[in-house]
Structure 1
Amino acid sequence: MSRYESPRVNAGAAKVVLIVLIVLVVAGLVAASSVKIVDAGTRGVLLHWSAVDLTQPPLEEGLHFVTPFADDVINIEVRTLKYERSTTSASRDLQTVRTTVTVNYHPEKEMIHYLYKNLGLDYENRVIQPAIEETVKQVTANYNAEELITKRPLVKADIQDEITDRLNEFNLATEVISITDFEFSLLFSQAIESKVEAEQKAFKAENDLLRIQVEAQQQEAQAFGIANANIAEAEGEAKAIRIINQALAENPNYLEWFKTRAWDGKLPLVVGEGGTPFIQIPISP
């Protein structure tokens, strides 16, 4: 009997081991399917039988348990993202303009399940790219080429407001929108350069003229001051002469007194006629 029972026991044991293995595999698959991880910097969109479950809010970062085999989780990044696009448009005066726009944005954290349902994961090409191209063409058509340069802050504000409004409709929040470059045709760029150079020369000529006018005014003021000084000096000398003439008329001895004031105490080398000194020194009796 033992010879015939041994193969049966071995076959039964093999079946048990196989069943256990199958159970473990199934349990492992169930466990793996019921556990989902939402990565850092992302939010999870819960799918139930491949359909977006809008009744549940997006899943936060970390470990989550879901219905095995029926549910799945799609991670969508909600950190600041960057999208850059260059587009060609025409200004109001029909100048060709190549504009490069950079958009820093992020998906709305609490609305990513609607974003995924409506656009999927390719929302940059579906929404952001056409929004930039249409907005740039629309805004640049409102300005001539020179205004696009001189009124750049205003142009940027128009582009930023329009792109922001367009992306908000799809639950995409803009942070910073920058116009990184305005490129014009070579002919127009040369014309602008020539105009700037001419304006600089005109400004220099205007400054030179102003400097010449100021210098002329300074010279005129200086000449006027010198003339007034000469007049004052001449008037002073005339007044002095009148005073001396009046003193001589009133006192004949005034001249002799004046000579003594001017004499330095030395006899002159030049004498008058007959040996008389040119300056006579009055001697008291």
Structure 2
Amino acid sequence: MADDNVVKMSPFKVGRLITAIVVILVVVLLGTQSFTIISAGHSGVVLQLGAVQPKVLQEGLHFKIPFVQTVIPMEVRVQKSETSQTSASRDLQTVSTTIAVNHHLDAENVNKLYQQVGLEYASRIVDPAIAEALKAVTAQYTAEELISKRSEVSNKVKDALKQKLSTYNIILDEINIREFTFSDEFNRAIESKQVAEQQALKSKLDLERIKIEKEQEITKAQAQAEALRLQKQEVTPELIQLRQIEAQLEAIRKWDGKLPNVTGGATPFIQVEK
């Protein structure tokens, strides 16, 4: 009885069923392989049988030839590279520099970068370019100038690095030189020089202060001498007689009306004309 309930299929029907399943699987596979999605902040490099194609895919959904074309996504958002480099200044001082670089890929030409360099462009292109640009610029300045002219140094490094990266379709956004560090001996020499400069400035200011005070004293003395000279010029016989009369009038005002007990000289306040 059990064998009577089993549905028997002819070999022809089994073959058709298998063929249908295979066709469905192939269609599904072709459907998944015929489209690609480029995520935001990326561009797609198209490889056709291993050869880089001139067309670059931008964000969104795109058709591709199944099993013939392959799409390599490359990030075109701003990326940061931070590195520490050691170089030499113009006066042969060892300079250690920490620098941060922001850059991004040219979205329209990522295929050229992939063809020339590949996906390891950061270690092959960006980092060596940073080191080369930094060494070339720091060699133009003394150690002290690297500190005092930091903004100028930064601009020159940026210009040099921008030119090097643009060759590979990498766009430089900004750089930030975090610090310059030198040897302990150089730091001590700089500190000693600063102390000496401060002392020299203090001495200069003290001399200027003493000079000003001396000039003030001379000016004051000259003014006093001039005043005495003018007073001397104004003294006349009439002025002397006037002062004598004023003195006598003051004495009369203070006299109590009594004559002195002892005589032997001229009576005060009385002048007899002969």
TM-score, scaled relative to structure 2:
0.82
Structure 1 counterpart of 2:259, one-letter code = V
Find the aligned partners of 2:178 and 2:188 in 1 and give their Cα distance.
21
The alignment status of 1:81 with 2:79, answered yes or no, reads yes
* Equivalent in 184, 193, 196 of residue 182 of structure 2: 184
Query: Which runs of no fewer than 5 residues in structure 1 stay unpaired?
Result: 249-253, 281-285
The answer on whether the counterparts of 1:270 and 1:278 sit within 8 Å (CA) in structure 2 is: no
For residues 188 and 57 of structure 2, the distance between their equivalents in structure 1, rounded to whole angstroms, comes to 56
Alignment deviations for residues 144-200 of structure 1 (CA, whole Å, 9 cap, x no partner) = 323333333343333222211111111111121232221111111111111111111
Residue 271 of structure 1, aligned match among 236, 244, 259 = 259
1:92 is displaced (CA, Å) by 3.0
Residue 268 of structure 1 aligns to a residue whose secondary structure is coil
Contact 2:252 2:269 survives alignment (8 Å): no
Query: How large is the RMSD of aligned CA atoms in angstroms?
Result: 3.3
User: Percent identity at matched positions?
Assistant: 36
Aligned counterpart for 2:238 among listed residues 243, 249, 264: 243
Contact 1:52 1:117 (8 Å CA) reproduced? yes
Cα distance per residue 1:111-162 (max 9 Å; x no partner): 1110111111110111111112222233333333233333333433332222
Alignment correspondent of 2:52: 52
Structure 2 unaligned blocks of 5 or more: none
CA distance in 2, matches of 1:266, 1:92: 93
Deviations 1:251-279 (A, max 9, x none): xxx95xx5786478665366346899844
Note the C-alpha offset of 1:211. Answer: 1.6
Distance 2:34 2:4 in 1: 46
Of 171-180 and 219-228, deviating more is 219-228
The structure with the largest helix share of the pair is 1
The answer to whether the 8 A contact 1:128-1:167 is kept is yes
Q: Quick one: which amino acid aligns to residue 166 of structure 2?
A: N
Alignment deviations for residues 54-82 of structure 1 (CA, whole Å, 9 cap, x no partner)? 2x2x2121111222222222221112211
Q: Is residue 230 of structure 2 the alignment partner of residue 232 of structure 1?
A: yes
1:138 aligned partner? 136
1:187-198 equivalent positions in 2, closer than 5 A: 187-198=185-196
Task: For 1:1-285, list aligned pairs within 5 A.
Answer: 7-9=7-9, 18-54=18-54, 56=55, 58-236=56-234, 238-239=235-236, 242-244=237-239, 255=245, 262=250, 267-268=255-256, 271-272=259-260, 278-279=268-269
Measure how far apart 1:15 and its partner are.
5.8
Q: How many pairs are equivalent?
A: 267
Q: Structure 1 270/64 Cα, relative in aligned 2: closer, same or farther at 3 Å?
A: farther
User: 1:251 maps to which residue?
Assistant: none
Residue aligned with 1:7, SS: coil
User: What residue identity is the alignment partner of 2:118?
Assistant: G
Mapped to 1, the partners of 2:143 and 2:193 lie a distance apart of 13
CA distance in 2, matches of 1:227, 1:20: 129
Relative to structure 1, the CA distance from residue 269 to residue 202 in structure 2 (aligned partners, 3 Å threshold; closer, same or farther) is farther
- 1:10, distance to aligned residue in structure 2 (A): 8.4
Q: 1:265 to 1:146 in 2, by over 3 A?
A: closer
- Cα 1:260–1:10 shift into 2, 3 Å: farther
- Looking at structure 1, the residues matched to 96 and 60 of structure 2 have their Cα atoms a distance apart, in angstroms, of 44
1:19 CA drift (Å) = 4.4
CA separation of 1:193 and 1:267: change in aligned 2, threshold 3 A: closer
Supply the distance in 1 between the matched residues of 2:203 and 2:262 (Cα, whole angstroms).
Answer: 76
